[in-house]
Chains A and B, each alone.
Chain A
Amino acid sequence: MKCKEIQEVLLTDYLDGMMNEQNRREAEAHLSSCVYCKEFMEIAMESTVEPFKNAPKLSLSHEKIWQRIKEEIISEEKTAAGAGFLSELASSFKNIFAVRMALASAIVAVIVVAAVVFLNPVGQNQTVKNTTSDESIQYLASIIDELSSTTTEEEEGYGTEIEKYFL
């Protein structure tokens, strides 16, 4: 191994005891023969590993943070409950609005039909006129029928003397 290669390994796997047996032996063989790499390894150990050994665990205020978390959870639940109520309220309003819309639509439809039927005089007169003219035609037709049937009867006659007298 060259010095540069071994220094890279020293800073990681060697210092952390993660090298396999064969690589570790190779590295140690190099260290025993290279003063520069040996010094490098000692300084690396002293300045990057030793200070962290037996380092006191840092901590924060356990109870203080728990209280803050509890307050935040409770606050979130209240907000969620409030949002749920508002959502239900909005849903109810929506339903009521839908029913009202349906009623209003029906009323408007009735008004429109009524307006067409009763407030359109031309249409109504036309209907009346049509009805009247139909009846008239039928009436005239019946008179004509009667007249024509009479004529036929007259033409047919009974062939008596008294008939000739009155006609």
Chain B
Amino acid sequence: MSEISGDIVNKAAKGDIKAFESIYREYFEFVANVVLRIVKHTDDAEDVAQEVFMTIYRNLKTFRGESALKTWIYRIAINTAINHAKKLSREFRQILEHGNDKAVAHSPPEDEDAIKNQENKKMIARLLDALNPDQRACIVLRNLEGLSYQEIAENLNIPINTVRSRIKRAREAMMSLSIPRYTLS
């Protein structure tokens, strides 16, 4: 993923939609993947992704380049997704669908790889469902996006030891799901 130039950021901040589209295309895949993993529901994830990019568009004027644009966008995406997931949790909305069929199924269902993908996807969804939104965000960023603890801490604006603690608890929860004798300590 290459960094967007300062010129494009300035143009987008002044309302140039073409320039903003370049930023959108550059970061869409990351935003979509993270948002969908944390929010889980495709329809909700679309709304959240839209909200993420509208927040970026409205606030580009205030972006002063103190952090990298990538970090700034990641932070907005992750926090928006976590807040949305927490809101859903508060409303006791149980999302039991593990499919997210509309989100992935690009291959025909009879394809062997597609079936494997579906199974893998269901397994991941089941594991992530066992976590609270904060833990889920850490696991998505670590296990799926490959960010280091330090990068996760910067993106979530939390201490590195909090990242470590959330990952530990998340993995304990996932282990107890797979093997019940490993219950939470």
Q: Smallest Cβ distance from A19 to chain B, in angstroms?
A: 12
Report yes or no: A60 in contact with B21, Cβ–Cβ below 8 A: no
Residues in chain A near residue B164, CB distance under 8 A: 12-13
Check A47–B50 contact: CB distance below 8 A.
no
The answer to whether B46 touches A44, judged by C-beta atoms less than 8 angstroms apart, is no
Closest to A8 in B: B168
Interface string of B66-90 (1 = CB under 8 A from A): 0000000000000000000000000
Give the shortest distance, in Å, between B7 (CB) and chain A (any CB): 20
B175 touches A68 (CB 8 A): no
Give every chain B residue within 8 A of A11 (Cβ-Cβ).
167-168, 171-172
Is B21 a contact of A44 with CB atoms below 8 Å? Answer: no
Q: Is B63 an interface residue (CB 8 A)?
A: no
Which residues of chain A are within 8 angstroms of B121 by Cβ–Cβ distance? 55-56, 58
Which residues of A sit under 8 angstroms from B20, Cβ to Cβ?
73
Assess whether B168 is in contact with A12, with CB atoms less than 8 Å apart. yes
Taking the nearest CB of chain B, how far is it from the CB of A91, in angstroms? 23
CB neighbours of B179 from chain A (8 A): 43, 47
A43 with B178: CB separation less than 8 A: yes
Please tell me which one of the listed residues A40, A43, A52, A64 contacts residue B46 in the complex, with CB atoms under 8 A apart. Answer: A64
**C-alpha spacing A64/B28, complex, angstroms:** 12
Main DSSP-derived SS at the B contact region: helix
Q: For residue A80, which residue of chain B has the nearest CB?
A: B15
How many angstroms between the C-alpha atoms of A47 and B177 in the bound complex? 9
Residue in A closest to B172 when the chains form the complex, CB atoms:
A11
Q: Is the CB of A57 within 8 A of B29?
A: yes
Q: Is B115 an interface residue (CB 8 A)?
A: no
Contact status B149-A18, CB under 8 Å: yes
B46 — which chain A residues lie within 8 A by C-beta?
Answer: 60-61, 64-65, 68
Q: Which residues of A contact B156 (CB under 8 A)?
A: none
Whether B171 pairs with A15 at a CB distance below 8 angstroms is: yes
User: For chain A residues 32-59, which have a beta carbon within 8 Å of chain B?
Assistant: 40, 43-44, 46-49, 51-52, 54-59
Known: A47-B179, A68-B50. A60 touches B36 (CB 8 A): yes
Give the residue name and chain of the B residue nearest to A68 (CB).
Answer: B50
Q: Is the CB of B174 within 8 A of A72?
A: no
**Do B127 and A72 touch (CB < 8 A)?**
no
- CB within 8 Å for A60 and B171 given contacts A47-B179, A51-B127, A66-B24: no
Query: Which A residues are CB-close (under 8 A) to B57?
Result: 69, 73
Smallest CB gap from B24: residue in A: A66
Find out whether the CB atom of A66 lies under 8 angstroms from the CB atom of B175.
Answer: no
A73 to B164, CA, bound (A): 39
CB of B17 within 8 Å of the partner chain: yes
A47 closest partner in B (C-beta): B178
The 7 A-B residue pairs with the shortest CB-CB distance, nearest first, are A47-B178, A52-B143, A48-B171, A58-B36, A60-B32, A48-B174, A11-B171
Q: List 20 A-B contacts (CB under 8 A).
A: A8-B168, A11-B172, A12-B164, A43-B175, A48-B143, A48-B174, A52-B139, A57-B29, A58-B104, A58-B121, A59-B29, A59-B33, A59-B36, A60-B32, A60-B42, A62-B32, A65-B53, A69-B50, A73-B54, A77-B15
Taking A52-B144, A58-B100, A68-B50 as known contacts, 9 extra A-B pairs with beta carbons closer than 8 A to each other, sorted by chain A number, are: A48-B170, A56-B117, A58-B103, A60-B35, A60-B49, A68-B46, A69-B53, A70-B17, A73-B17
